[in-house]
Amino acid sequence: MSAAPEEPPATSREQQAMLRALEIAANGPARGVNPQVGCVILGADGTVIAEGWHRGVGTAHAEVDALSQLAPGAARGATAVVTLEPCNHTGHTGPCAVALIEAGIGRVVFAVSDPGSHSGGGAERLRAAGVSVTGGVLVDEAEAFLGDWLTVARLGRPLVTVKWASSLDGRIAAADGTSRWITGDAARADVHRRRSEHDAILVGTGTALADDPSLTARDELGGLLPAQPIPVVMGTRAIPTDAAVHRHPLPVVLHHGHDPAALLAELRATGVRSVFIEGGPTIATAFLRAGLADTVLTYLAPVLLGGPRLAIDDLGIATIGDALRLETVSVERLGADLLLISAPTTSAPRIPSTDRTLSV
């Protein structure tokens, strides 16, 4: 069996075209199911003959957008420089790899390989058709640009942040259930800022019924911040029609079920890339136990409460050797409080569960 031919290195003009492709990719929508992608087509002399970018779900992908600006046959022998590997599947649009082949493109240069199990493989299809292909060009810049979309695509689910505010001894409420306010103004302002940076905010029906939260992101004066997370309530109990969450500026998502993975799949299908979990210990425990937490935010107030109202319920850990280990990312002081940002270690196993039913 003969070895596969080596990829020719990208020329300086192709690298410059990749920088331009990243620049125009930013014209597309930053949120949603699809990534921001840019494409620059170079003629035989290395000059730019067309540019394109993806404008959102259902619209032409960047490669097809660029090709549409050329007369029939004008792309023959040209080079397409794309920030993401041309797709190899039919969704709302056809496969870009096929469109490039049919247009007569002679060479394709891309930055990041498509991580999708269905959409990937475009480079192999192009090579099989005799197109010269070089990948990994300015890959670091492109991966930084794609940011959370690429991480979500590789994980196959939205990123999950689990947050709670507690006393130093890990209590989220006093014995009588009161919890406002454990932390101070600076910590609460930080929470609202982080809410606004996420696509969705999640609580269980238990929290929705007990606290009647609005699930909005607000400023210090109580006004709504420009960016609002989609409110999501998970569980099987009904939420009153006059609940505060129904007055959220975005429609509430009511997930009738107890499976965290199923909920994340549902949210990802709608374009959600990040979820901020602010429910009580039942919801937080469910996502931690399922291995579905990427970041843990713990706001610690310098108070002691004692009692049973812990931030996390039973994780099913019987011995210290099975503890769910986290790595400290940073520690911030917020007025009198501390914010501990941590992340489960990459080797942290999913904790087996003998009971998949959650009372939320």
Catalytic positions are 63
SS3 content of the chain, % helix, strand, coil (to 5): 25, 20, 50
Query: Which amino acid appears at position 37 of this protein?
Result: V
Instruction: Give me the numbers of helices (H) and strands (E) for the chain, helices first please.
Output: 10, 13
For the stretch 12-33, what's the b/e string if a residue is b when 16 or more beta carbons lie within 10 angstroms of its beta carbon?
eebebbbebbbebbeebeeebb
Residue 81 to residue 85: CA distance in whole angstroms: 10
HSE, CB side, 13 Å, CA atoms: give it for residue 314. Answer: 9
Contact assessment for residue 51 and residue 80, using Cβ atoms and an 8 Å cutoff:
no
What is the residue-wise DSSP string for 186-222? HHHHHHHHHHHTSSEEEEEHHHHHHH------B-TTS
